[in-house]
Structure 1
Amino acid sequence: MTDDRLSQVFAALADPTRRDIVTRLASRDATVNELAEPYDVSVQAVSKHIRVLEDAGLVSRTRDAQRRPCHLEAEVFDLMTKWIERYRREAEDRFRRLDAVLEQLQDKDPRAETREEGQAS
């Protein structure tokens, strides 16, 4: 996934209504009318939200006779997860290195031993 595409996906998910639509589509496909039901906005407004999600590759529409259900493209989330996971691993590595440095500093600090002895009595 290119950085531009990833930015588009995160931008699409920045809106709470679009995140809610994605959550609802995770359980089942739905039409724009069905997706618009719980919102106090027009069907056209929800359709615009769907279009943003489509442009980001998060949602696709199919034709089922007269219905045009929206479908969540879950593989986009796999790509996002891989991107996030890479940075999570890097952050964990930095924290492990920091823990090791702090442990070495504590082992070299004679005051640490004195504090430990004082706490034991």
Structure 2
Amino acid sequence: MTDNTPEALVADWLNPRTEHKCWADPRLPEPWDFTAPLVHIQSGPGAEIALTLDAVILDVDVYAARADNAGNVANRVRAELQLRLPGHTWESGLTVSAVRVETLPFWSPDPKVFKRSASYRVYFHGLLES
């Protein structure tokens, strides 16, 4: 994605690190059969961008045709966000100082695929330009 929303920035950052499609658009890509897992990132309730510091909640769902793939990718996303995203700075100067797990990856009902959901609080510093 090319916009500067928190979910788009994090999705673009995660894409090469998870080796799976990370998607921040509110609509899932069509058609997607989930044989390759898909990471879907959206701002959670209460997320709002402040001028210089903000704690944004990102809801992350991992969809996959197989349960083990969904679980493995969700755990990989968690590790990347917790261990590697803090300290990252984008060209604009926006920096992530910390990431806190709000909810660990858990099984979430979906009648067609296996889905793991989690929420993360990401602390951004700097000015996010829209």
Q: Which has the higher helix share?
A: 1
- TM exceeds 0.5? no
More strand by share: 2
User: Over alpha carbons, which structure has the higher Rg?
Assistant: 1
TM-score by length of 2: 0.31
